[in-house]
Structure 1
Amino acid sequence: MGKIFCIGQSAYDITIPLSGPIVENQKYRVEEKIECGGGPAFNAACLCGIWGADVCLISRLGQDEYGKKLHQTAEECGINVKYLIPDPDLETPHSYIFSNKINGSRTLFNFPGNPGKVDYRFPEEDVSVILSDGHEPEITLGAVQKYPHAFSLVDAGTCRESTLLVAEKVDYLVCSEDFACQYTGKKIDLDDWEACREIFHEIEQINGKYAVITLGEKGLLYRTCGEMRRLPAYPAKAVDTTGAGDIFHGAFAYGLWKGMQLIDILKLSSMALSLSVRRAGSQTSIPKLPEVETELKKYKINTK
Structure 2
Amino acid sequence: MKKILIIGSFMTDLVVQTLKVPVEGETVIGKSFNRFTGGKGANQAVAAARLGGDVTMIGKLGEDDFGKEHIESLDKNNVNHQSVLFDSQTSSGVGNIQIDYNGNNRIVVVPGANLKLSERDIEKNENVIMDSDIIVLQLEIPMKTVYKSIDLANKHGKTIILNPAPAQLIKPEYRSKIDYFVPNETEASLLSNIEVNGLETAEQAAEILLEQGYKNVIITLGDKGVIFKNQDQFKYVEAHRVKAVDTTAAGDSFIGSFAYGLSKGMEIEQTLNIAVAASAITVTKLGAQPSLPEIKEVNEQLLVPQQ
With the length of structure 2 as denominator, give the TM-score of the two structures.
0.88
- 1:252 corresponding residue in structure 2: 258
Maintained 8 Å contact 1:156/1:163: no
Report the Cα distance in structure 1 between the residues aligned to 2:244 and 2:40, rounded to whole angstroms: 19
- 2:138 corresponding residue in structure 1: 133
After superposition, give the CA deviation of every residue in 1:92-150 in whole Å (9 maximum; x if it has no partner).
Answer: 111111111x21101111001163345121225531211111334144224413531x3
Counterparts of 1:214-233 in structure 2, within 5 Å, are 214-223=220-229, 226-233=232-239
| Structure 2 unaligned residues grouped into runs of 5+ | none
Counterparts of 1:92-241 in structure 2, within 5 Å, are 92-100=92-100, 102-113=101-112, 115-116=115-116, 117=118, 119-120=120-121, 121=124, 122-123=126-127, 125-134=130-139, 135=141, 136-148=145-157, 150-161=158-169, 167-190=175-198, 193=200, 196-223=202-229, 226-241=232-247
* SS of residue paired to 1:292: helix
* SS of residue paired to 2:182: strand
Q: CA deviation at 1:189?
A: 4.3
Q: CA deviation at 1:23?
A: 3.0
Counterparts of 1:50-65 in structure 2, within 5 Å, are 50-65=50-65
Query: Aligned letter for 2:105?
Result: R
Counterpart selection for 1:263 from 256, 265, 269: 269
* SS of residue paired to 1:16: strand
* SS of residue paired to 1:61: strand
Change (3 A) 1:261 1:225: farther
* SS of residue paired to 2:162: strand
Report the Cα distance in structure 2 between the residues aligned to 1:162 and 1:224, rounded to whole angstroms: 18
After superposition, give the CA deviation of every residue in 1:22-62 in whole Å (9 maximum; x if it has no partner).
Answer: 23333334452221111111001012222222111111111
Report the Cα distance in structure 1 between the residues aligned to 2:54 and 2:251, rounded to whole angstroms: 21
- 2:39 corresponding residue in structure 1: 39
Maintained 8 Å contact 2:274/2:298: yes
Maintained 8 Å contact 1:158/1:176: no
Report the Cα distance in structure 2 between the residues aligned to 1:56 and 1:8, rounded to whole angstroms: 11
After superposition, give the CA deviation of every residue in 1:219-269 in whole Å (9 maximum; x if it has no partner).
Answer: 112137834342211111111101111111000110111111111111111
Query: Aligned letter for 1:108?
Result: I
Query: Aligned letter for 2:51?
Result: W
Report the Cα distance in structure 1 between the residues aligned to 2:11 and 2:120, rounded to whole angstroms: 22
Maintained 8 Å contact 1:214/1:220: yes
After superposition, give the CA deviation of every residue in 1:158-217 in whole Å (9 maximum; x if it has no partner).
Answer: 4314698765521011111111110122212437x3x55432211123343111111111
Query: Aligned letter for 1:283?
Result: Q
Moved more, 220-229 or 288-297: 220-229
Moved more, 21-30 or 247-256: 21-30
Moved more, 47-56 or 25-34: 25-34
- 2:280 corresponding residue in structure 1: 274
* SS of residue paired to 1:45: helix
Moved more, 104-113 or 117-126: 117-126
* Aligned-residue identity in percent: 25
Moved more, 158-167 or 283-292: 158-167
Superposed CA RMSD: 2.3
With the length of structure 1 as denominator, give the TM-score of the two structures.
0.89
- 1:10 corresponding residue in structure 2: 10
Change (3 A) 1:216 1:16: same
Q: CA deviation at 1:19?
A: 1.4
Query: Aligned letter for 2:14?
Result: I
